[in-house]
Amino acid sequence: MDNQEIQVTLDRYWEATMALDLERVDEFNHEDIVVEFPQSGERILGKHNIHDLRKHYPAKVTFKILRTRGEGNLWITELIITYDGRPVNVVSVMEFKDGKIAHETHYYADPFEPPEWRSQWVERIK
């Protein structure tokens, strides 16, 4: 797959994810997908396990994609996932194999108020 094809695939993947359409999401995942959450030290192996985990997820979630970029088989999506009304900034690193997502690593960061001392040098994003 070239970069444009992967970009289209990721756009469709995130559309299915935002619609909470797990069957459609599965179409983009490699059978042997590995999904990692470094902050909690967890790894999910295989398409079936990630599907079941997402199917039983207890929180109401929404997704806002901020930016996707990449090259070759390595792509990054910056997004905000809102869990039961609480937004969390997320970076999702995805690796492709055979045209499908083979490895995902999700990094989560809670938002925080910036310190006043640096306000003269920064511009607020929002």
Residue 62 has a pLDDT of: 94
Short-list 1, 23, 24, CA closest to 13? 24
Out of 3.90.180.10, 3.10.450.50, 3.40.50.1360, 1.10.3720.10, the CATH code matching 3-109 is 3.10.450.50
What are the extents of the domains in the chain?
Answer: 3-109
Residue 126 has a pLDDT of: 67
Element containing residue 62 per DSSP (H, E): strand 61-71
Residue 1 has a pLDDT of: 80
Model's pTM, two decimal places? 0.88
Mean pLDDT per block of 10 residues along the chain (126 residues) reads 92 95 96 96 96 93 95 96 95 96 96 90 86
